[in-house]
Amino acid sequence: MKILIQAVTFLSPLSAYHEKCKDVLLVDGIIKEIKETGSINENCDQVINGKGLHLCPGFVDLHVNFREPGHEHKEDLMSGCHAAMQGGFTGVLCMPSTSPPIHNRSAIEFIQNRTKHHLVDVIPSGSLSLNLEGKDLSEMYDMYMAGAKVFTDDKHVVQDAGLMLRALLYSKNFGGKIFSFPYDSSLVSKGQMHEGEISTGLGLKGIPSLSEELMIRRDLALAEYADASIHFSTISTKGSVHLIREAKAKGLKVTADVSVLNIALTDSELSGFDSNFKVMPPLRTNEDVEALIDGLKDNTIDAICSDHSPEDIENKRKEFDLAHFGAEGLETAFSAAYSALKDHLSIDKIIEKFTIAPRNILGITNHEIRETAPANLTLINLSEEWTVREEDILSKSKNNPFITRTLQGKVLFVFNKDQMYSCV
C-alpha cells in the first residue's frame, strides 16, 4: 500500500526532521521518502493533506484492561484494539487481571496469537503472583521467554513485602520489569473517593493520600535493597511525586506514570455522585494535580497512560458505594491530556510522555521518523476542538467521564504494520 502525506509538520523529538514541514511517502509499511513539500510524484492508494497537521511516532499506553478472557461483555481484545486506534495508540500494555489471569506461558501466547495481525501492538503483561492472590510468585521466567516484559498484579495490590522483594530479585536476573500499583488497602475499608473536604461534605468514606505514599515508601526501600528497577503505575498524590523525585535524585532505578484522569480531573467531579468519576486511584485535589503536572515537567513522572478500565452498565449505574471503580478512556486520553497540559508543558514534552518514555520503560524500539524506518505513526490536529459523544467511544463499555465535554487536539489517522486507520 502506498500512502502520501503532504505538507505535514513532524513532532518527533528523536528525528532530524523534528518541527520541519515535509511530504512523507509510506510504501508497504515503511517510510520510503521524506522530501520537500510538493516534490513527491507517485500514484498512491491514499493522499492525505497534512497542512496544519502534525505527524508523530505512534502512541503507547502503559495501562489498559481488555478484559479477555473472562469478561468479554465489558471488552475483548478486538474491541479494545479498536478503541486504542481511535485514540491514536499503536501499542498498548495489557494488564493481566482477567479471568483466569494472565499468569503462565499459554496465557501470554493466547494474547499474542489473538492480536498479532492487528494494527495495534498488544504487549501482554504477566501477573506477579499466581492467580493474582499475592501469595506465591507466578511463572515469571516462562512468561518472559514467551514475550512478557512486565510483571504486575495490576490493582490487586501486593500487600506482602516479602513477595514483592522476591519478585524484584527474581525478575532482575532475566531483565523483567516490575510494575507496582501503590495502595495500602489495609488503611482503607470501603473507601469511595479521595479523603478530604469534599468526601466529608458528601458523606462518603475517604481514601487518604497516605495509602498510596506508604506503599511507595515501602517499594522504594525494597527496590533499593534489591538494587532492582521498579515502575510505579498511576500515581496520584503530591507526596508520591516528592518521594519519587527524591528517589531519582538518589540514583534509584525508578520510573512512574500518571493516568490522564488524575491530571485532567479533580475530586470535585464527585459532587454529583456520577460513578463514571469513581476511579482507582481516586481523583485528588487541585494541589495534587499541580504537583503531578510539575512532576511531568521535570521528568519525575515519565509517562501518561489512559488507565483504560471498561465497566458495563450493571457495574456502574447503581448506588455509588456499590459501583465499581474504573473509567474507559483510550479514545479520549491524548485529547484530555493535551487540553489539561497545553498551557503548562510544551507539545514536545507531551508527545514524549505518550511515545518515547513508554517505549523506554518497556525496553522496546523507539521508532524515529526517518527514511527506511517502519511507519509506526499517529497523525493529529492540535488545533481542532471536538465534543466527545457516546458514538465516539468504540469500546464495548461507555463509562467514559469525558462524554459531552469539549476537548482540544484530535487524532486523525494511525499507521502500523502496513495498515492505516482513519479516526474520523
Active site residues: 307
Strand order in the sheet with 254-259: 150-151, 177-180, 230-232, 254-259, 303-305
DSSP state of 129: B
Confirm if 155 and 127 have CB atoms less than 8 A apart: no
End-to-end distance of the chain based on CA atoms, in angstroms?
A: 20
Question: Which phi-psi region, left, alpha or beta, contains residue 409 (left: φ > 0; alpha: ψ -120 to 50)?
Answer: left
Confirm if 6 and 48 have CB atoms less than 8 A apart: yes
DSSP state of 423: -
Q: What are 60's strand-pairing partners? A: 91
SS3 labels along 41-100: CCCCCEEEECCCCEEEECEEEEEECCCCCCCCCCCCHHHHHHHHHHCCEEEEEECCCCCC
Between the alpha carbon of residue 317 and those of residues 191, 205, 264, the distances in Å are 18, 19, 23
